[in-house]
Amino acid sequence: MTPLRPAVPVFCSIVPPHLLEHLARSSNPAVAAAARRTLVADASARTVRVLPLPGSAPTPAAEGGRPHRTIHDCGRGTDLPGAKVRGEGEEATGDATVNRAYAGLGATFDLFLNAYGHDSIDGSGLPLTASVHYDENYGNAFWNGEQMVFGDGDDEIFLDFTLPVDVIGHELAHGFTQYSANLEYFSQSGALNESVSDVFGSLVKQYALGQSADRADWLIGEGLFHPNVQGTALRSMKAPGTAYDDDVLGKDPQPAHMDDYVRTGRDNGGVHINSGIPNHAFYLAATELGGNAWERAGQIWYDVMTGGTLTPEARFSEFAAATVAAARARYGDAEEIQAVVKAWSAVGVPTD
């Protein structure tokens, strides 16, 4: 399969703009200032073209079957990638953030290779690059079409963005989507793009910890919030809409069912909000099947993303139908199909 590359720059962040906009209106001056600074940095990052120009040399692939990681330090500036501080196979540094980023890239590589035979996020051994200590009090992490970028947080709402390994997996999974189904980052296809990142981000965490579906917390970004925040994570796949409820942060707005689908012009049509619906469908399918979620449920989602049947503008119902077809193709008329159909039905999405 020839990897797909988007025609326009990619910017996919873990913290949605609606949450940062809410924080920017906070009565706490430090919180508001950090959120405004993050929004400005995000707006700037969205305008930077990072993909190779036509005719430029491609990035050389790493040796097959092993990661090729490079970590850079931005020194609290915004010039990317920053100074190289750790390469593949080099000893750990004295900077815990650098070491967590290195380990998280490796954990993501391991899931895709060992569970699905997918060599790096493009399937062809793409080197993995990350930059840490981005900007001052930067409250986000993002994939820009070429590399990962992590902020240190503001120590008021957000802590270091390398702390949760599923955040690292989530952002790298945007690269996986970019190179496979290339789902457009708008409306339902954009919410699917976000959901696929949450699915594989959660699977990275579960695989790294050896957790079965019934033991996993199904939280995205657990451990990212400052202890004073009334919340457990950015999102919950098990119970969308319950991840946080805080006086400063606001309340988690994610729906778990199509009856509550949010129609909005903000955040590219609510991609971070409505992703709760397909997120919950995956959780239901994975827990219904039991065992390790990266095996049968994860395999079905992986097959859909790499099968070449999705259009970039895919809607929830198209994706749902594709998961049923993928389950049938791999497992035949077995319990996997019933689990998938039942899961989508429970969130109000038809599969035929």
Catalytic amino acids?
Answer: 171, 272
Residues forming beta bridges with residue 148, ordered by sequence position: 130, 143
Q: Are 300 and 323 in contact (CB under 8 A)?
A: yes
* CA atoms of 162 and 154, how far apart (whole Å): 14
The backbone region for 128, taken as left when phi is positive above 0, alpha when psi lies in -120 to 50, beta otherwise, is: beta
- What would the DSSP string read from start to end of 31-84? HHHHHHHHHHHHHHHHT---SPPTTPPPPPPPPTTS--EEEEE-TTS--SS-EE
Let me know if 12 is exposed, middle or buried by CB neighbors in 10 A (0-12, 13-18, 19+).
buried
- The sign one gets for the Cα dihedral 6, 8, 10, 15 is negative
Q: Are 110 and 129 in contact (CB under 8 A)?
A: no
Q: What are phi and psi of 142, to 5 degrees?
A: -150, 160
Cis (ω within 30 of 0) for the bond into 6?
no
Cα 260 to Cα 245: distance, rounded to the nearest angstrom: 18
- Of 195, 196, 204, the C-alpha closest to 180 is 196
Most distant CA pair in the chain, distance: 58
- Provide the 3-class DSSP secondary structure of residue 245: strand
